[in-house]
Amino acid sequence: MIEINSKSLVEELQNLIRIPSRNPPGEEKNLALYLEKRLKDLGLDKELIAEPYENRPQVVARLKGSLGKPKLIINGHMDTVPEGDVNRWSFKPFEGVIKDDKVYGRGASDIKGGIASTLIALDYLLEKDIKLKGDLILQFVIGEETGEPGTKDLLLNKKLVGDYGIVLEPTSLKVANAIKGLAWFHIKFIGKPCHASCPEYGINAIFKALSFCNKIESYSLKLKERKHKLLNNPKVSVTMIRGGVKENMIPESCLVSLDRRIIPNESLESVKREIEEILEGMKREDKDLVYECWIKGNYEPAEIPEDAEIASVMRKNVELVTKERQLPFGLPAATDMRNFVNDAKIPAVTFGPGNLREAHSIDEYVEVKQLVNASKVLILTIKDLLS
Ligand SMILES: [Zn+2]
Protein backbone atom coordinates (compact mmCIF):
# COMPACT_ATOMS: atom_id res chain seq x y z
CA MET A 1 0.00 0.00 0.00
CA ILE A 2 1.02 3.59 -0.59
CA GLU A 3 2.78 5.44 2.24
CA ILE A 4 2.09 9.17 2.39
CA ASN A 5 4.14 11.48 4.59
CA SER A 6 1.34 13.27 6.43
CA LYS A 7 3.75 15.82 7.88
CA SER A 8 4.77 17.07 4.41
CA LEU A 9 1.15 17.05 3.34
CA VAL A 10 0.11 19.22 6.29
CA GLU A 11 3.04 21.59 5.69
CA GLU A 12 2.07 21.88 2.06
CA LEU A 13 -1.49 22.82 3.03
CA GLN A 14 -0.19 25.34 5.57
CA ASN A 15 1.90 26.97 2.84
CA LEU A 16 -1.21 27.28 0.66
CA ILE A 17 -3.39 28.66 3.47
CA ARG A 18 -0.71 31.25 4.36
CA ILE A 19 -1.04 32.80 0.90
CA PRO A 20 -4.52 34.41 0.95
CA SER A 21 -6.35 34.08 -2.37
CA ARG A 22 -9.68 35.63 -1.55
CA ASN A 23 -12.31 36.19 -4.20
CA PRO A 24 -13.71 38.75 -4.14
CA PRO A 25 -11.45 40.66 -4.73
CA GLY A 26 -9.73 38.01 -6.91
CA GLU A 27 -6.26 37.98 -5.38
CA GLU A 28 -5.15 34.54 -6.65
CA LYS A 29 -1.92 35.84 -8.21
CA ASN A 30 0.50 35.19 -5.31
CA LEU A 31 -0.79 31.66 -4.96
CA ALA A 32 -0.41 31.13 -8.72
CA LEU A 33 3.23 32.27 -8.51
CA TYR A 34 3.84 29.92 -5.57
CA LEU A 35 2.30 26.95 -7.41
CA GLU A 36 4.22 27.74 -10.58
CA LYS A 37 7.50 27.66 -8.66
CA ARG A 38 6.51 24.50 -6.78
CA LEU A 39 5.82 22.71 -10.08
CA LYS A 40 8.94 24.09 -11.71
CA ASP A 41 11.05 22.73 -8.84
CA LEU A 42 9.56 19.32 -9.58
CA GLY A 43 10.78 19.65 -13.15
CA LEU A 44 7.32 19.79 -14.68
CA ASP A 45 6.50 21.45 -17.95
CA LYS A 46 4.40 24.38 -16.68
CA GLU A 47 3.04 27.71 -17.73
CA LEU A 48 1.22 30.69 -16.32
CA ILE A 49 -1.72 31.67 -18.45
CA ALA A 50 -2.69 35.31 -18.12
CA GLU A 51 -6.17 34.70 -19.48
CA PRO A 52 -9.01 35.49 -19.24
CA TYR A 53 -7.68 38.24 -16.91
CA GLU A 54 -4.19 39.67 -17.21
CA ASN A 55 -3.61 40.12 -13.48
CA ARG A 56 -5.02 36.81 -12.37
CA PRO A 57 -2.86 34.13 -14.03
CA GLN A 58 -3.91 30.49 -14.06
CA VAL A 59 -1.40 27.67 -13.71
CA VAL A 60 -1.20 24.68 -16.04
CA ALA A 61 1.39 21.92 -15.70
CA ARG A 62 2.03 18.65 -17.49
CA LEU A 63 3.68 15.47 -16.35
CA LYS A 64 4.33 13.89 -19.72
CA GLY A 65 3.83 10.20 -20.32
CA SER A 66 5.66 8.11 -22.89
CA LEU A 67 2.69 7.94 -25.29
CA GLY A 68 1.09 11.28 -24.48
CA LYS A 69 -2.32 9.67 -24.17
CA PRO A 70 -4.74 9.30 -22.60
CA LYS A 71 -4.81 12.61 -20.75
CA LEU A 72 -6.11 13.05 -17.21
CA ILE A 73 -6.82 16.57 -15.96
CA ILE A 74 -6.91 17.41 -12.25
CA ASN A 75 -8.52 20.81 -11.77
CA GLY A 76 -8.50 22.82 -8.54
CA HIS A 77 -9.61 26.40 -7.97
CA MET A 78 -7.10 28.67 -6.24
CA ASP A 79 -9.64 31.20 -4.99
CA THR A 80 -11.44 31.05 -1.65
CA VAL A 81 -14.33 33.03 -0.27
CA PRO A 82 -13.28 35.87 2.11
CA GLU A 83 -12.71 35.07 5.80
CA GLY A 84 -15.57 37.28 7.04
CA ASP A 85 -15.39 38.61 10.61
CA VAL A 86 -11.95 37.46 11.92
CA ASN A 87 -13.10 37.97 15.52
CA ARG A 88 -15.56 35.13 15.15
CA TRP A 89 -12.77 32.67 14.25
CA SER A 90 -11.14 30.64 17.04
CA PHE A 91 -7.92 30.41 14.94
CA LYS A 92 -6.32 32.93 12.63
CA PRO A 93 -7.78 32.16 9.19
CA PHE A 94 -4.50 32.44 7.28
CA GLU A 95 -2.20 30.49 9.57
CA GLY A 96 -3.07 26.84 9.10
CA VAL A 97 -3.29 25.95 12.79
CA ILE A 98 -3.31 22.20 13.55
CA LYS A 99 -5.52 20.84 16.33
CA ASP A 100 -6.88 17.32 16.90
CA ASP A 101 -5.62 16.11 13.52
CA LYS A 102 -7.42 18.89 11.69
CA VAL A 103 -5.92 21.80 9.76
CA TYR A 104 -7.82 25.06 10.23
CA GLY A 105 -7.94 28.03 7.88
CA ARG A 106 -9.77 29.70 5.03
CA GLY A 107 -9.68 27.33 2.09
CA ALA A 108 -8.63 24.30 4.18
CA SER A 109 -11.59 22.30 2.92
CA ASP A 110 -12.53 24.40 -0.15
CA ILE A 111 -10.20 23.50 -1.76
CA LYS A 112 -6.57 24.11 -0.78
CA GLY A 113 -6.69 20.74 1.00
CA GLY A 114 -7.41 19.08 -2.34
CA ILE A 115 -4.62 21.03 -4.03
CA ALA A 116 -2.17 19.97 -1.28
CA SER A 117 -3.21 16.31 -1.68
CA THR A 118 -2.62 16.61 -5.44
CA LEU A 119 0.87 18.11 -5.01
CA ILE A 120 1.87 15.38 -2.58
CA ALA A 121 0.51 12.73 -4.96
CA LEU A 122 2.72 14.25 -7.64
CA ASP A 123 5.75 14.22 -5.29
CA TYR A 124 5.10 10.51 -4.70
CA LEU A 125 4.89 9.64 -8.42
CA LEU A 126 8.15 11.45 -9.11
CA GLU A 127 9.98 10.10 -6.06
CA LYS A 128 9.03 6.51 -6.83
CA ASP A 129 9.79 7.18 -10.49
CA ILE A 130 6.47 5.69 -11.60
CA LYS A 131 6.37 5.48 -15.38
CA LEU A 132 3.26 6.80 -17.08
CA LYS A 133 2.10 6.36 -20.65
CA GLY A 134 -0.54 9.05 -20.59
CA ASP A 135 -0.20 12.70 -19.62
CA LEU A 136 -1.21 14.10 -16.26
CA ILE A 137 -2.36 17.71 -16.58
CA LEU A 138 -2.84 20.01 -13.61
CA GLN A 139 -5.03 23.09 -13.85
CA PHE A 140 -5.07 25.56 -10.98
CA VAL A 141 -7.76 28.05 -11.89
CA ILE A 142 -9.21 31.40 -10.83
CA GLY A 143 -12.69 32.67 -10.18
CA GLU A 144 -14.58 29.50 -9.26
CA GLU A 145 -16.22 31.07 -6.22
CA THR A 146 -17.73 33.86 -8.29
CA GLY A 147 -18.65 31.86 -11.40
CA GLU A 148 -15.93 33.49 -13.53
CA PRO A 149 -14.77 31.64 -16.64
CA GLY A 150 -11.37 30.37 -15.36
CA THR A 151 -11.86 26.68 -16.09
CA LYS A 152 -14.05 27.35 -19.12
CA ASP A 153 -11.37 29.56 -20.66
CA LEU A 154 -8.66 26.89 -20.28
CA LEU A 155 -10.86 24.18 -21.74
CA LEU A 156 -12.53 26.04 -24.58
CA ASN A 157 -10.29 28.96 -25.59
CA LYS A 158 -6.89 27.50 -24.74
CA LYS A 159 -8.00 24.01 -25.83
CA LEU A 160 -6.33 22.46 -22.79
CA VAL A 161 -8.47 19.37 -22.92
CA GLY A 162 -8.15 15.70 -22.03
CA ASP A 163 -9.89 12.35 -21.80
CA TYR A 164 -10.85 12.45 -18.12
CA GLY A 165 -11.33 15.18 -15.53
CA ILE A 166 -11.24 15.32 -11.75
CA VAL A 167 -12.62 18.57 -10.36
CA LEU A 168 -11.42 19.07 -6.80
CA GLU A 169 -14.14 20.15 -4.34
CA PRO A 170 -14.89 19.01 -0.78
CA THR A 171 -17.00 15.86 -1.17
CA SER A 172 -15.71 13.97 1.92
CA LEU A 173 -13.94 11.70 -0.60
CA LYS A 174 -17.19 10.71 -2.28
CA VAL A 175 -17.04 10.52 -6.07
CA ALA A 176 -19.75 12.75 -7.53
CA ASN A 177 -20.87 11.87 -11.04
CA ALA A 178 -23.76 14.34 -10.89
CA ILE A 179 -24.02 17.92 -9.64
CA LYS A 180 -26.91 20.32 -9.27
CA GLY A 181 -27.09 23.64 -11.05
CA LEU A 182 -28.80 26.86 -10.11
CA ALA A 183 -30.31 30.03 -11.51
CA TRP A 184 -31.04 33.32 -9.82
CA PHE A 185 -34.10 35.08 -11.20
CA HIS A 186 -34.89 38.72 -10.54
CA ILE A 187 -38.46 39.86 -11.15
CA LYS A 188 -39.33 43.50 -10.87
CA PHE A 189 -43.02 44.34 -10.50
CA ILE A 190 -43.90 47.83 -11.66
CA GLY A 191 -46.72 49.62 -9.87
CA LYS A 192 -48.21 53.08 -10.07
CA PRO A 193 -47.34 55.30 -7.10
CA CYS A 194 -49.93 57.60 -5.52
CA HIS A 195 -50.97 59.02 -2.15
CA ALA A 196 -51.69 56.25 0.33
CA SER A 197 -54.90 58.00 1.42
CA CYS A 198 -56.44 57.01 -1.93
CA PRO A 199 -54.75 53.71 -2.90
CA GLU A 200 -57.44 53.08 -5.53
CA TYR A 201 -55.73 55.64 -7.79
CA GLY A 202 -52.52 53.64 -7.89
CA ILE A 203 -51.24 50.12 -8.48
CA ASN A 204 -49.53 48.51 -5.52
CA ALA A 205 -46.37 46.73 -6.71
CA ILE A 206 -45.93 44.93 -3.37
CA PHE A 207 -49.34 43.26 -3.68
CA LYS A 208 -48.37 42.04 -7.17
CA ALA A 209 -45.12 40.66 -5.80
CA LEU A 210 -46.94 38.89 -2.96
CA SER A 211 -49.35 37.07 -5.23
CA PHE A 212 -46.34 35.97 -7.30
CA CYS A 213 -44.64 34.68 -4.13
CA ASN A 214 -47.76 32.63 -3.32
CA LYS A 215 -47.63 31.09 -6.78
CA ILE A 216 -43.97 30.24 -6.22
CA GLU A 217 -44.92 28.41 -3.05
CA SER A 218 -47.30 26.14 -5.00
CA TYR A 219 -44.65 25.75 -7.72
CA SER A 220 -42.16 24.56 -5.08
CA LEU A 221 -44.62 21.83 -4.03
CA LYS A 222 -44.94 20.74 -7.65
CA LEU A 223 -41.14 20.46 -7.92
CA LYS A 224 -41.14 17.89 -5.11
CA GLU A 225 -42.73 15.43 -7.54
CA ARG A 226 -39.70 15.57 -9.85
CA LYS A 227 -36.90 13.26 -8.83
CA HIS A 228 -33.33 12.70 -9.89
CA LYS A 229 -31.83 9.40 -8.79
CA LEU A 230 -28.85 10.98 -7.02
CA LEU A 231 -29.87 14.60 -6.52
CA ASN A 232 -33.45 14.23 -5.37
CA ASN A 233 -35.81 17.04 -6.36
CA PRO A 234 -35.24 20.52 -7.78
CA LYS A 235 -35.98 23.44 -5.46
CA VAL A 236 -37.14 27.01 -5.60
CA SER A 237 -37.06 29.66 -2.87
CA VAL A 238 -37.95 33.32 -2.65
CA THR A 239 -34.72 34.74 -1.24
CA MET A 240 -35.09 38.54 -1.39
CA ILE A 241 -37.92 41.03 -1.62
CA ARG A 242 -37.42 44.75 -1.83
CA GLY A 243 -40.12 47.36 -2.44
CA GLY A 244 -41.64 50.66 -1.47
CA VAL A 245 -40.32 54.17 -1.02
CA LYS A 246 -42.16 55.77 1.90
CA GLU A 247 -44.84 54.98 4.49
CA ASN A 248 -47.52 57.09 2.81
CA MET A 249 -46.78 56.19 -0.79
CA ILE A 250 -48.26 53.32 -2.78
CA PRO A 251 -45.10 51.44 -3.84
CA GLU A 252 -43.98 52.07 -7.38
CA SER A 253 -41.95 48.90 -7.69
CA CYS A 254 -41.03 45.69 -5.91
CA LEU A 255 -38.15 43.38 -6.71
CA VAL A 256 -38.36 39.66 -5.94
CA SER A 257 -35.44 37.28 -6.31
CA LEU A 258 -35.68 33.52 -6.66
CA ASP A 259 -33.02 30.87 -6.11
CA ARG A 260 -33.86 27.90 -8.32
CA ARG A 261 -31.81 24.70 -7.91
CA ILE A 262 -31.72 22.69 -11.12
CA ILE A 263 -31.31 18.92 -11.62
CA PRO A 264 -29.68 17.41 -14.72
CA ASN A 265 -33.06 16.30 -16.18
CA GLU A 266 -33.95 20.00 -16.45
CA SER A 267 -32.36 22.78 -18.48
CA LEU A 268 -31.99 26.48 -17.86
CA GLU A 269 -34.34 27.06 -20.80
CA SER A 270 -37.06 24.79 -19.42
CA VAL A 271 -36.77 26.39 -15.99
CA LYS A 272 -36.96 29.88 -17.49
CA ARG A 273 -40.07 28.90 -19.41
CA GLU A 274 -41.74 27.68 -16.20
CA ILE A 275 -41.13 30.96 -14.39
CA GLU A 276 -42.35 32.93 -17.40
CA GLU A 277 -45.50 30.78 -17.59
CA ILE A 278 -46.32 31.64 -13.99
CA LEU A 279 -45.91 35.34 -14.75
CA GLU A 280 -47.84 35.15 -18.03
CA GLY A 281 -50.65 33.26 -16.26
CA MET A 282 -50.88 36.08 -13.70
CA LYS A 283 -50.92 38.65 -16.46
CA ARG A 284 -53.86 36.97 -18.18
CA GLU A 285 -55.90 37.36 -14.97
CA ASP A 286 -54.63 40.82 -14.07
CA LYS A 287 -54.42 43.48 -16.75
CA ASP A 288 -52.58 45.84 -14.36
CA LEU A 289 -49.64 43.48 -13.99
CA VAL A 290 -46.39 44.87 -15.37
CA TYR A 291 -43.09 43.13 -14.75
CA GLU A 292 -39.55 42.61 -15.97
CA CYS A 293 -37.83 39.28 -15.47
CA TRP A 294 -34.13 38.49 -15.93
CA ILE A 295 -31.53 35.96 -14.86
CA LYS A 296 -28.89 37.41 -12.56
CA GLY A 297 -26.59 34.39 -12.62
CA ASN A 298 -26.67 30.70 -13.37
CA TYR A 299 -24.61 27.52 -13.13
CA GLU A 300 -25.65 24.53 -15.18
CA PRO A 301 -26.18 21.08 -13.68
CA ALA A 302 -24.04 18.24 -15.04
CA GLU A 303 -23.98 14.48 -15.02
CA ILE A 304 -22.02 11.57 -16.46
CA PRO A 305 -23.17 7.93 -16.47
CA GLU A 306 -22.44 6.28 -13.14
CA ASP A 307 -20.50 3.52 -14.93
CA ALA A 308 -18.25 5.97 -16.82
CA GLU A 309 -14.64 4.80 -16.46
CA ILE A 310 -13.42 7.80 -14.43
CA ALA A 311 -16.31 7.38 -11.95
CA SER A 312 -15.99 3.63 -11.47
CA VAL A 313 -12.18 3.66 -11.25
CA MET A 314 -12.30 6.35 -8.60
CA ARG A 315 -15.04 4.68 -6.57
CA LYS A 316 -13.00 1.46 -6.61
CA ASN A 317 -9.92 3.35 -5.39
CA VAL A 318 -11.82 5.15 -2.61
CA GLU A 319 -13.07 1.73 -1.49
CA LEU A 320 -9.52 0.36 -1.51
CA VAL A 321 -8.19 3.25 0.54
CA THR A 322 -11.05 3.83 3.01
CA LYS A 323 -12.48 0.28 3.12
CA GLU A 324 -15.92 1.87 2.80
CA ARG A 325 -18.41 0.85 0.13
CA GLN A 326 -18.82 3.57 -2.52
CA LEU A 327 -22.02 4.17 -4.47
CA PRO A 328 -22.73 6.66 -7.27
CA PHE A 329 -23.15 10.06 -5.65
CA GLY A 330 -24.75 13.41 -6.47
CA LEU A 331 -23.37 16.66 -5.03
CA PRO A 332 -26.02 19.30 -4.28
CA ALA A 333 -23.61 22.16 -5.09
CA ALA A 334 -22.49 23.58 -8.44
CA THR A 335 -18.86 22.99 -9.52
CA ASP A 336 -16.64 23.56 -12.56
CA MET A 337 -17.40 19.95 -13.52
CA ARG A 338 -20.14 21.53 -15.64
CA ASN A 339 -17.48 23.07 -17.92
CA PHE A 340 -15.79 19.69 -18.43
CA VAL A 341 -19.00 17.76 -19.07
CA ASN A 342 -21.28 20.29 -20.79
CA ASP A 343 -18.86 22.64 -22.58
CA ALA A 344 -15.81 20.47 -23.38
CA LYS A 345 -17.57 17.06 -23.40
CA ILE A 346 -14.91 15.54 -21.13
CA PRO A 347 -16.18 12.88 -18.70
CA ALA A 348 -15.41 14.26 -15.24
CA VAL A 349 -16.22 13.78 -11.58
CA THR A 350 -16.13 16.08 -8.57
CA PHE A 351 -13.99 14.72 -5.72
CA GLY A 352 -11.90 15.93 -2.83
CA PRO A 353 -11.05 15.90 0.87
CA GLY A 354 -13.07 18.04 3.25
CA ASN A 355 -16.72 18.41 4.00
CA LEU A 356 -19.07 20.71 2.10
CA ARG A 357 -20.52 21.74 5.47
CA GLU A 358 -17.15 23.21 6.50
CA ALA A 359 -16.65 25.07 3.23
CA HIS A 360 -17.20 28.85 3.45
CA SER A 361 -17.70 28.57 7.24
CA ILE A 362 -16.07 30.14 10.28
CA ASP A 363 -13.25 27.87 11.58
CA GLU A 364 -13.10 26.03 8.26
CA TYR A 365 -11.01 22.87 8.60
CA VAL A 366 -10.05 19.62 6.92
CA GLU A 367 -9.14 16.32 8.57
CA VAL A 368 -5.54 15.19 8.03
CA LYS A 369 -6.78 11.64 7.45
CA GLN A 370 -8.93 12.78 4.53
CA LEU A 371 -5.99 14.68 3.02
CA VAL A 372 -3.82 11.58 3.16
CA ASN A 373 -6.56 9.37 1.74
CA ALA A 374 -7.23 11.84 -1.07
CA SER A 375 -3.55 11.66 -2.09
CA LYS A 376 -3.71 7.86 -2.13
CA VAL A 377 -6.88 7.80 -4.23
CA LEU A 378 -5.34 10.24 -6.71
CA ILE A 379 -2.13 8.20 -6.99
CA LEU A 380 -4.05 4.95 -7.59
CA THR A 381 -6.31 6.65 -10.15
CA ILE A 382 -3.40 8.22 -12.03
CA LYS A 383 -1.71 4.79 -12.16
CA ASP A 384 -4.90 3.03 -13.29
CA LEU A 385 -5.74 5.48 -16.04
CA LEU A 386 -2.32 6.54 -17.28
CA SER A 387 0.16 3.68 -16.83
ZN1 LIG B 1 -14.85 25.10 -4.06
Q: What is the pLDDT of residue 149?
A: 93
326 Cβ contact list (under 8 Å, min separation 6): 174, 175, 315, 316, 318, 319
Q: What is the pLDDT of residue 286?
A: 97
Give the neighbor-by-neighbor strand order of the sheet with 102-104: 98-99, 102-104, 365-367
Do residues 323 and 360 make contact, with C-beta atoms less than 8 angstroms apart? no
Residues 55 and 175 in one domain: yes
Q: What is the pLDDT of residue 172?
A: 98
What residues make up the domain containing 90? 6-179+301-386
Q: What is the pLDDT of residue 32?
A: 97
Q: How confident is the model at residue 371 (pLDDT cuts 50, 70, 90)?
A: very high
Q: What is the CATH number of the domain that holds 363?
A: 3.40.630.10
How far is the centre of ligand 1, averaged over its atoms, from the C-alpha of 80 (Å)? 7
How far is the centre of ligand 1, averaged over its atoms, from the C-alpha of 325 (Å)? 25
How far is the centre of ligand 1, averaged over its atoms, from the C-alpha of 352 (Å)? 10
CA 350, CA 230: separation in Å to the nearest integer?
A: 14
Note whether residue 1 is domain-resident. Answer: no
Residues 139 and 266 in one domain: no
Q: How far is CA 286 from CA 193, 251, 277, in A?
A: 18, 18, 14
Q: What is the pLDDT of residue 266?
A: 95
Note whether residue 310 is domain-resident. Answer: yes
Residues 382 and 295 in one domain: no
Residues of 25-34 as b/e, b for ≥16 C-beta within 10 angstroms?
ebbbbebbeb
Span 174-189, mean pLDDT? 97
Span 33-46, mean pLDDT? 94
Note whether residue 248 is domain-resident. Answer: yes
In the predicted model, is pLDDT for residue 45 greater than 90?
Answer: no
Residues 156 and 20 in one domain: yes
Provide, rounded to the nearest whole percent, the portion of the chain with pLDDT above 90: 97
How far is the centre of ligand 1, averaged over its atoms, from the C-alpha of 333 (Å)? 9
Span 166-194, mean pLDDT? 98
Do residues 328 and 245 make contact, with C-beta atoms less than 8 angstroms apart? no
Do residues 190 and 371 make contact, with C-beta atoms less than 8 angstroms apart? no
How far is the centre of ligand 1, averaged over its atoms, from the C-alpha of 165 (Å)? 16
Span 320-331, mean pLDDT? 98
Q: How far is CA 117 from CA 75, 236, 309, 360, in A?
A: 12, 36, 22, 19
- Angle between helix 113-127 and 368-386 (nearest 10): 50
In the predicted model, is pLDDT for residue 47 greater than 90?
Answer: no
pTM: 0.92
Span 252-263, mean pLDDT? 97
Q: What is the pLDDT of residue 1?
A: 82
Q: What value does the mean pLDDT of the chain take?
A: 97
Number of domains forming the structure of the chain: 2
How far is the centre of ligand 1, averaged over its atoms, from the C-alpha of 358 (Å)? 11
The domain boundary, picked from 247, 278, 299, lies at: 299
CA 296, CA 199: separation in Å to the nearest integer?
A: 32
Residues 201 and 312 in one domain: no
How far is the centre of ligand 1, averaged over its atoms, from the C-alpha of 379 (Å)? 21
Span 246-263, mean pLDDT? 97
E strands of the chain, at which residues? Answer: 45-49, 58-63, 71-77, 98-99, 102-104, 135-141, 164-168, 176-179, 181-190, 235-243, 253-262, 291-299, 302-303, 329-331, 348-351, 365-367
Residues 80 and 129 in one domain: yes
In the predicted model, is pLDDT for residue 133 greater than 90?
Answer: yes
Do residues 60 and 90 make contact, with C-beta atoms less than 8 angstroms apart? no
Q: What is the pLDDT of residue 187?
A: 98
Backbone angles phi, psi at 361, to 5 degrees: -100, 170
295 Cβ contact list (under 8 Å, min separation 6): 183, 184, 185, 186, 268, 272
